[in-house]
Structure 1
Amino acid sequence: MHTDQTQNIAPEALPEVITRFLNSHRAHDTATALSAFRADATVTDEGKTHGGVPAIETWMTQSASEYTYTIELIGAQKVDADRYVATHHLEGNFPGGVVDLHYRFTLSDGLIEDLRIEP
């Protein structure tokens, strides 16, 4: 994977579909968050992959109720035309209490095809 094309961008320069997901996910608006995904999308979080919208909905519901935390978008990068990274700073009652997570998005046909959340 070539990352020499990666460029830092302003968080507000992220594609609308990513911003829609991030804002609605933060607001626990699952229906709007799910509208950002392709039907066959995958989300990988904490080493587990959730495939398809029903599994993604279950993941969102569980992750929202598991811990209480604040989340702040602290950076964004454009890897190429279809791949973006949004970096979030989280603080809360999860193990460790503080973490910066990279939300790695792959887009297809204007929707999220793949999302990988990792430190």
Structure 2
Amino acid sequence: MRRSRKYIIAILTLIVVAIPTYSLVITPLLQKDQVKEAIINHLKNHGYSQSDYYLNINFHWGNKLIGYDQYRIKVIYKDEPDVNYYYSYRNKKIYSIGVAPTGKREEKDFKHME
């Protein structure tokens, strides 16, 4: 009886560790390629090729835990390097969520606003 109890505790411990590890570590890494493909397709549908911009995709653990958008996508267009365009990925769709000029840019006429 004592030996089977140790096995049950070990299996339960493994399950308690495996489920959060999978959902918080492995799944986001696997989905990052899906997010990248989605933003590339979104930008392609708006007439941009991959040579027109730089792409940065970050996963935010805290946002996943509280239910906000997990992926923050930053796009910097080569013809407008002093502006960051931010996108979000949720429900397998891309959404434009904001624009942020960098440095001391005072001009508010952004070329790539959606």
Greater length-normalized contact order (CA 8 Å, ≥ 6 residues apart): 1
- Which of 1 and 2 has greater Rg? 2
Structure 1 length as normaliser, TM-score? 0.38
Q: Return the structure number with greater strand share.
A: 1
Structure 2 length as normaliser, TM-score? 0.39
